């Protein structure tokens, strides 16, 4: 098992701010670690589990992901038991508990591995199980099919994969974004193909029978001219939901929030919370223990890095942008997932590189949202 320890970097921050602590979660010479946002993050106290893709490095030019499409792409897990300070790498395939692989998005399926046949979920999943985790994946970002797997032992073993409906669309491009409503009741927030088969338009679906059936609830916003993809959602109140959407039209990329006041039945734009993300990046939105909302995202323009914003009124107004780091070697960064530890510190996991032609690795930043705002 590989094990990495946090390294400390200092940035020009407000005098009252404790500096963020950056560390490497997965870093192997010649390899490409990427896209935690596609896989998911889960936590149980100071135990954190995050999924990511591990391929092989290849320089495909500054405008492309530096991954070798002709070599295998693995779906791995990183686990920390000390709140993100140190990590161990796990390969579910070695345990005979294969997280969905099927048609991988950026490389080829590792030799000798074959995803278990997709099944219809029998239902009865207890979404409130104390050691529960759910991952939702797609085979293609445009007209793909999607499936989900779940674990009741903190990701050590997985049940599934279980197929998701296409919901009368040409494709469903799922990444992991869900809200548990009750024992057998759960929302999924997905991206569907647009009418022309291209990506994408966000939607909300729900099960009330433990995953046996998923019903379409609503579209999140109108069909875009470009794309609106990769929701990240929190519950603000009993019937109030807030979701953050990655948007692109032409050369412009931004993050826009949508709010529902009737438990997902309808949505209305809540404004653009990040007007520019460079070449585009999804966000990770969480509700902090003190009730504030925290948004983290990658910035794919110089200075390349990881940023955050915090809201004290349920996402209606946002404090100024926080730069967690701006030492990236290029645009191939971001796709964060974020959790909060019991002590209040925030842990953001993402992929990164330090030099333009440097290996891509999975990194973690431990920071204090309160310190930045004093």
Residues 253-301 have pLDDT tens digits of 999 999 999 999 999 999 999 999 999 999 999 999 999 999 999 999 9
Per-residue confidence (pLDDT) for residue 18, from 0 to 100? 77
Is pLDDT of 11 > 50? no
- Per-residue model confidence (pLDDT) at position 329: 95
Assess whether pLDDT exceeds 50 at residue 15.
no
Place 372 in a pLDDT band, splitting at 50, 70 and 90.
Answer: low
**pLDDT digit string (tens) for 195-206?**
999 999 999 999
- Distance between start and end Cα atoms, the chain: 40
Q: How confident is the model at residue 97 (pLDDT cuts 50, 70, 90)?
A: low
Name the band, by pLDDT with cuts 50, 70 and 90, for residue 94.
Answer: confident
Q: Which of 199, 151, 210, 154 is nearest to 173 (CA)?
A: 199
Mean pLDDT taken over the chain: 91
Residue 101 reports pLDDT greater than 50: no
Residues counted in the chain? 374
Q: Report the pLDDT value the prediction gives residue 4, as an integer from 0 to 100.
A: 45
Domains of the chain (ranges plus CATH)?
A: 3-372 (2.120.10.10)
Nearest to 176 by CA among 305, 318, 51: 51
């Amino acid at each position: 098992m590989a094990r990495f320890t946090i390294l400390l970097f200092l940035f020009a921050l407000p005098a009252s701010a404790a500096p963020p602590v950056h560390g490497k979660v997965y870093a192997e010479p010649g390899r490409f670690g990427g896209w935690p946002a596609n896989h998911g993050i889960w936590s149980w106290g100071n135990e954190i589990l995050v999924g990511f893709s591990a391929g092989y490095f290849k320089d495909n030019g500054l405008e492309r992901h530096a991954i070798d499409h002709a070599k295998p792409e693995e779906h791995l897990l990183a686990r920390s038991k000390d709140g993100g300070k140190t990590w161990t790498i796990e390969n579910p395939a070695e345990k005979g508990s294969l997280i969905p692989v099927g048609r991988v998005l950026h490389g080829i399926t590792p030799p000798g591995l074959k995803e278990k046949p997709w099944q219809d979920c029998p239902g009865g999943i207890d979404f409130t199980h104390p050691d529960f985790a759910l991952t939702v994946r797609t085979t293609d970002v445009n007209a793909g099919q999607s499936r989900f797997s779940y674990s009741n032992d903190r990701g050590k073993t997985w049940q599934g994969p279980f197929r998701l409906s296409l919901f009368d669309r040409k494709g469903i491009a799922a990444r992991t974004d869900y809200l548990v409503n009750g024992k057998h009741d759960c929302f999924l927030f997905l991206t569907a193909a647009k009418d022309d088969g291209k990506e994408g338009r966000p939607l909300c679906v729900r099960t009330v029978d433990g995953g046996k059936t998923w019903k379409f609830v609503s579209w999140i916003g109108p069909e875009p001219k470009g794309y609106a993809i990769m929701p990240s959602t929190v519950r603000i109140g009993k019937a109030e939901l807030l979701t953050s959407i990655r948007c692109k039209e032409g050369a412009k990329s931004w993050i826009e929030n949508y709010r529902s006041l009737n438990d997902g039945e309808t949505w209305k734009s809540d404004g653009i919370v990040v007007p520019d993300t460079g070449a585009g990046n999804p966000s990770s939105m969480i509700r902090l223990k003190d009730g504030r909302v925290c948004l983290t995202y990658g910035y794919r323009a110089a200075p390349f890095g990881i940023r955050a914003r915090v809201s004290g009124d349920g996402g209606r107004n946002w404090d100024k942008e926080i730069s967690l780091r701006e030492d990236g070697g290029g645009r191939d960064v971001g796709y964060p997932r974020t959790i909060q530890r019991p002590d209040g510190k925030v842990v953001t996991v993402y992929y990164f590189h330090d030099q333009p032609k440097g290996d891509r690795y999975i990194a973690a930043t431990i920071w204090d949202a309160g310190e930045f705002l004093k």
